[in-house]
Amino acid sequence: MSSRKSERLINLTIALLATKRFLTKSEILRTVEGYEGSSEAKDRMFERDKDDLRSLGISIEVASVDPLFEDEPGYRIRHENYSLNLKDLNGQDIALLSLAAKAWQEASLGSAAQSALIKLNSLGINSDYQSIPSLSPKIFVDSPHFLPLLDAISERNSISFQYLTQSAQYEVRKVNPMGIGNRFGHWYLVGFDIERDSLRTFRLDRIGTELTVGKKSFVFEIPADFSASGYLDISLERPTDMAVILIRKGKGHDLRVRAESITEGDDFDTCVIPYPYLQTFLNLLLWHGDDVIVESPAHLKESIIATLRKLVLIHE
């Protein structure tokens, strides 16, 4: 994605967040920097930008500017719809998110963004830029494929890549990328697997070093009602078991944020935590060492003990 387009998307997001009423397309095209060319070119850019923001999980509300008349529709982004869900972020993610807030604040107070807000105010459209920096939408992404994937989603390019499966084998996947989202500290690509003829999810850190992007643009369509975030909620967050874990006071924050309930104790708190994948959860518990004690279920406790015994034998 070009830096010019990125700036335009940021300016559009800021304008839609700051406005206190719905903005019409004509108002947006007049006030947000980056929309250039003929009327048709500006319209196409705006439609693509809306799709790009929605692909990133940003919900744009559409409604009539005047409820008494069926006139040009208006657009805005509600703060509550744009707020981040921090339940799946660990301590490191939150620290990185805090650092990224500075970058967003600088963008929101930049000359292009401020120019748009000044223009909106001159048209009698109230805006409130003071609330924008606190939203801090950027978070750390440790994947070289993140930006190329966003570009492929924006341009509707098919892609292909080597993907590491659960059997530790690389397989070639050909995909129409539709959206990206974050769950449990991992970034996922949601796309239509061409050979398997179905919608699939792919963890970015399991994609091989080579990512091939098709040369033809707009070879597929993304349904207007598609939501990468919603699909990830359905496909990934399916707890199949519940664990009762004792966690030492002041420890295990990335476990605590997953808990459905926490009962405070003297030295340890009792946390009831749902988990979908045994091995992933097992590894997380082992990382915390003696700061956690597994109460139930029995098979999880047995797996912990068996793994610890193997570690002892390895180091004898």
- Domain membership of residue 247 (yes or no) is yes
Domain that includes residue 185, residue range: 146-235
Q: In terms of domains, do 229 and 272 share one?
A: no
Domain boundary pick from 235, 255, 283: 235
User: 3-state secondary structure string, 180-241?
Assistant: EEEECCEEEEEEEECCCCEEEEEEHHHEEEEEEECCCCCCCCCCCCCCHHHHHHHHCCCCCE
> DSSP string covering 2-18, please?
-HHHHHHHHHHHHHHHH
Q: Is the pLDDT of residue 109 over 70?
A: no
Same domain? 74 vs 182 = no
pTM of this structure: 0.41
Task: With CA atoms as reference, report the closest residue to 108 among 31, 36, 12.
Answer: 12
The answer to whether residue 141 sits within a structural domain is no
**Buried b vs exposed e over 92-108: b needs ≥16 C-beta within 10 Å?**
ebeebbeebbeebeebb
Do residue 192 and residue 289 come from a single domain? no
CB count, 10 Å around CB of 7?
Answer: 16
Does 189 fall in a domain?
Answer: yes
Last residue of a domain, one of 104, 135, 166: 135
Question: Is residue 140 one of the residues assigned to a domain?
Answer: no
Helix axes 91-108, 3-18, angle to 10 degrees: 90
In a domain, 79, yes or no: yes
Pair 15, 131 in one domain: yes
User: Residue 143: pLDDT above 90?
Assistant: no
The DSSP 8-state label assigned to residue 30 in this structure reads: H
| Average pLDDT rounded to a whole number, residues 194-215 | 91
Decide: helix, strand or coil at residue 156.
coil
Q: Which of 77, 104, 135 is the last residue of a domain?
A: 135
Same domain, 124 and 221: no
pLDDT tens profile 285-310: 988 888 999 999 998 999 889 888 88
Number of folded domains that form the chain: 3
Residue 183: CATH number of its domain: 2.30.30
User: Is residue 76 located within the same domain as residue 40?
Assistant: yes
Using left for φ > 0, alpha for ψ between -120 and 50, and beta otherwise, residue 2 falls in beta
Instruction: Give which of 208, 234, 221 is closest to 55, Cα–Cα.
Output: 221
The single-letter DSSP state of residue 258 is T
Residue 103 shares a structural domain with residue 8: yes
pLDDT in tens, 223-267: 888 888 778 877 776 556 899 999 999 888 878 888 889 999 999
Whether 299 is covered by a domain: the verdict is: yes
Residues 162 and 199 occupy one common structural domain: yes
pLDDT digits (tens, 9 = 90+) for 44-88: 999 988 888 877 677 788 887 665 555 678 888 876 666 544 445
Residue 42 and residue 11 share a domain: yes
Q: Are residues 231 and 249 in the same domain?
A: no
